[in-house]
Amino acid sequence: MSLLCRYGLATLAVATALCLTSKTLWAAEGAQPDCGTKPPPPLAEEYLTSGRLAEGERALREHLKGHPRDDQARFGLGAIQFVHSVERVAQSLYRHGLRHEIRGVPFLRMPVGVNENPEPISYDDLRGIFHKLDDDLMRTEATLAKIRDPDVKLPLSFGQIRIDINGDGKAEPEEALWKIYARLNRAASVSEEVARQFVIAFDAGDVHWLRGYCHLLSAFCDFMLAHDMQELVESTAHVVFPKVESPHTHLAWPDDKLPWHFEIADAIAAIHLCRFDVIEPQRLESAHAHLLAVVEQSRQSWKAIQAETDDQREWVPNPQQSGVIPGVGVTQEMIDGWHVFLDEFEAILQGEKLLPHWRVKDGRGINLKRVFMDPQQFDLVLWAQGSAATPYLEEGERTQPETWDRLNRVFRGEFIGFAIWFN
C-alpha cells in the first residue's frame, strides 16, 4: 500500500489521471491468469490496447445506436473516454515540453518524454488544458450515468492499454500503461507477460467508482478555473516548462535540472504568489456540488460492491472477495469506517460540522460550505496563519480529532492511501 500513498495524491491534479490508471500495475506480479474457457473480449479492449481511442469512441457510439441496452459497451465507451482524457492531457504536456525531472510536484511526474522542440505555453494555454479536461470528464460521467445493468462486467487487460503521449498519431508499445508505470517506478519488476496477465474485471461498483473520480477531478478543475493564477504561472512556470510566455523571460533556465538555490527561490515565490482573486465564482459552487457527488457515488459504489457474491478479479473487493491486489484485503471494519468518513465529510461540506483551525481557541470553526458559496481571495499564507478564516468562523459543532484518529487506526495508519483507492 505504500505506492498508493506515494502516488495516490496525484489524482487531484491534471496529470493525475495517468497515475490513477497506471498505479494498479504494481500488483501485477501477484496476479494469476484465469484458467478455463474465457468469454470474448469486450468491444472496447481492442481500441484501448491498440491506442485507437478516437476510433473506439466512434465505433462504440455507433454500436450503441443499434444496441442501446448493451451496458458493457457503454461501460467500455466510458473507459475509452476517460483514458482519452488522460491522453489529451499527456499530449498537451508533451507539446509544451514538460520537464521530465520535476521534484515536489507529484501530479506532474508524467514520463511524457523529452520534446526537443516544445511550443511556448501561456497562462491561457494552461487554462485551456483544464477546460478541456473538465469537459472530457463530464462527458465520461454522462456516459457512465446511463448504465443500468447491476451485473455489468468489463474485463480489461489493464497494463496493455496504450495512449499516444507524443501526439504523433500512433500509440507505440512503449506507450503502454505497464511501460509507463515501469518508468515511473524503476525499482518495480514488471514484465510484459505479467502485464498481459493482469486483468481487472470491472463491474457495477466500479462504474460508480469511476464516476466518483470524474467528479473529484472536475472539482479540482473548477477550483483552478475559478481563480486568477496568472501571476503565479508567469513567475514560476519556467520550473515546469522550458518556454513560458511571460514578462519574466530572464527567469528561464535552459536545462531540466535547476540549481538548488534557484529551486528554493522559486518555491518561496510560489508560496508567496498563492493568492488568487476569484474570477468565476460559479465554478466554486460547481466544485462543491462535485464533491458532494463524490460522496454519493462512493456510497453507491460500496452498496454494489457489498452485494456481490462472485469473486472475479475484483478491483475493489468486499470482505468475502480476494481482489486483484495481492496481500491487501478489505474488512467490514474498514467499510464501516469508510462510511463514517463519508458521513463526516458530507456534514463538513454542508456546513453541518465545522472545521477547526489551529489558531482559533474560542470554540468556533470554519464553515466550509460558505467558503465555496461566498468566496473571497484565496491566500494560502493567510489561511495557514488564520486571518483568511475570519469571515467563515461561526459557533457550532466541530469535527473532532478523535474521529480522524479512529479512522487512521482502522486503516492501519494508511487512511489516505486507502481513501485514494476506495474513493
pLDDT tens by residue, 372-391: 999 999 999 999 999 999 99
Using N-to-C axis directions, what is the helix angle for 71-95 and 53-66, rounded to 10°? 160
The pLDDT, as a whole number, for residue 34 is: 44
- In the chain, pLDDT over 70 holds for what percent of residues? 86
Per-residue pLDDT at 106 exceeds 70 = no
Residue predicted with more confidence, 260 or 320: 320
Judge contact between 17 and 221, C-beta under 8 A.
Answer: no
Kindly report, residue by residue over 173-200, the tens digit of the pLDDT: 888 888 887 776 666 667 777 777 788 9
- Closest to 295 measured CA to CA, from 187, 204, 171, 419: 419
Report the alpha-carbon distance of residue 243 to residue 246 in Å, rounded.
9
Alpha-carbon dihedral sign for residues 203, 204, 205, 207 = positive
The pLDDT, as a whole number, for residue 178 is: 83
The pLDDT, as a whole number, for residue 177 is: 87
Average pLDDT, the chain: 87
Domain boundaries, the chain: 10-300
Per-residue pLDDT at 118 exceeds 80 = yes
Q: Tell me what the mean pLDDT of segment 117-138 comes to.
A: 96
Judge contact between 209 and 423, C-beta under 8 A.
Answer: yes
Residue predicted with more confidence, 116 or 388: 388
E-only strand ranges, 273-339 = 275-278
- Closest to 100 measured CA to CA, from 220, 15, 11, 192: 15
Report the alpha-carbon distance of residue 238 to residue 141 in Å, rounded.
34
Cell of 361: 481557541
What are the angstrom distances between the C-alpha of 317 and each of 32, 261, 418? 16, 47, 13
DSSP state of 244: B
Pick the range with the lowest mean pLDDT from 3-12, 149-158, 261-270, 413-422.
3-12
Residue predicted with more confidence, 96 or 28: 96
Kindly report, residue by residue over 279-290, the tens digit of the pLDDT: 999 999 999 999
The DSSP code sequence of 101-123 is --SS-GGG-------SSPPPB-H
- Would you say how long the chain is, in residues? 423
Instruction: Return the H-helix or E-strand segment holding 213.
Output: helix 204-226
Q: Identify the residue whose cell numbers are 458559496.
A: 373
Q: How confident is the model at residue 26 (pLDDT cuts 50, 70, 90)?
A: very low
Pick the range with the lowest mean pLDDT from 138-152, 250-264, 332-346.
250-264
What are the angstrom distances between the C-alpha of 131 and each of 54, 120, 214? 19, 19, 14
359 CB-near residues (< 8 Å, 6+ apart): 385, 386, 389
Residue predicted with more confidence, 184 or 139: 139
The pLDDT, as a whole number, for residue 188 is: 62
- Closest to 325 measured CA to CA, from 12, 16, 23: 23
